[in-house]
Amino acid sequence: MLTAHPSPRAEPSLKNAAWVDLIDPSAAESAAFEQAFGLPVPSKDALVEIEATSRLRIDHGALYMTAPLILAPENGPWIVTPAGFMLAKNIVATVRFDKLPAFDAVAAELDRRETFEPAVALVRLLEVLVDRTADLLEASARDLDDASHLIFRPENVAQTKLSHETLKLRRLMIRTGRTSERMARVQYTLVCLDRMAKFASERGREWIAEDLCKRLQAVSSDIASLLQFTEGLVSRVQLLQDAAGGIINIDQNEVMKVLTIASVVGIPPVLVAGIYGMNFKGMPEYDWAWGYPYALAMIVITALLPLIWFKWKDWI
């Protein structure tokens, strides 16, 4: 789909557009754009290339820039979708293959203006994309706050059953792991947007207005702060995962300790019962009137002695 945003007071035609937004363009739409402005439209395969020379280049006198953008639906996984930006003196064009709310918001905003230049659309797109990425980081930070509250909860909170606790922590580790993956994607997106802002301000300084160059520098400053914030979130994710894994190991060790103590405590009584359970004629205990109570007492005493020893050693 090809959407043209014409310059103010201009006839609604492709050649009079200040911004052309191509959403999964067909061959005919790409050819129409190229015929109108003399600029080739990059394919999806070209947009996903990761080399710096492919993401930032000058072709036919226009700045070609690409960046992976994040599509984050409310209920569903985050999707990384490629997007291309072409900036010339008389036109800015965007190429994307998914519906992105940031583009629609900027289009609605610019359509309400009386005047706007092509570079204004690019700068405004970068600003909105950075703002929406910051919103995603804030949402991820809140998720980590909830996870931290569950892991480092107060000691006086009633403990749940071990099986439920382990299941909860495992789900929490999956959740924080998903957050870590999202942070990696956000970090790479921010790096690409920062490169775009610097590339546009440096290579288009001669024909981009000074105030727009300052706004591009402000975008780079915002991205720098967001990258620092992202690094902090990544560190928190690692801390929470290590803490959750450590708690799971501690709980499992507690179970193994109980089983070990039970097995050790049970050995002496079994030994006593085995000795007095032997049927030999020469055993004097057979003739004792108190032999049975004596054997029971020995079983109880031999079971208590290991428990007393463990308690004295502060192992239980």
pLDDT at position 1 over 70: no
Confidence tier at 162 by pLDDT (50, 70, 90)? low
Q: Are 72 and 81 in contact (CB under 8 A)?
A: no
Give the separation between CA 83 and CA 264, rounded to whole angstroms.
66
- The domain ranges of the chain are 2-252, 257-312
Question: Distance between CA 114 and CA 267 in Å, rounded?
Answer: 90
Other beta carbons within 10 Å of 204:
21
Q: What is the rounded average pLDDT of the residues 1-6?
A: 59
The pair of three-digit structure tokens given for residue 214, joined into one six-digit string: 């300052």
Does residue 10 carry a pLDDT above 50? no
Minimum mean pLDDT range among 73-82, 117-126, 205-214: 73-82
* Better-predicted residue by pLDDT, 66 or 183: 66
Does position 122 have pLDDT exceeding 50, yes or no? yes
Helical segments of the chain, H only = 27-37, 44-47, 52-55, 101-111, 118-151, 162-203, 210-275, 291-312
Helices 210-275 and 291-312: angle between axes, nearest 10 degrees: 150
Under DSSP, the state recorded for 41 is P
Q: Give domain 2-252's CATH architecture.
A: 2-Layer Sandwich (3.30)
Comparing 314 with 81, the larger pLDDT belongs to 81
Tell me the mean pLDDT in the region 237-247: 79
One-letter amino acid at 51 equals E
Please determine, for residue 214, whether its predicted confidence score (pLDDT) is greater than 50: yes
Contact 133, 186 (CB under 8 A): yes
Q: pTM of the predicted model, to two decimals?
A: 0.75
Residue 120 neighbours by CB distance under 10 Å: 21
Average pLDDT taken over every residue of the chain: 83
C-alpha radius of gyration, the chain, whole number: 35
- φ, ψ (nearest 5 deg) of residue 37: -125, -10
pLDDT at 152 over 80: no
Percentage of residues in the chain having pLDDT higher than 90: 30
Would the pLDDT of 283 be above 80?
Answer: no
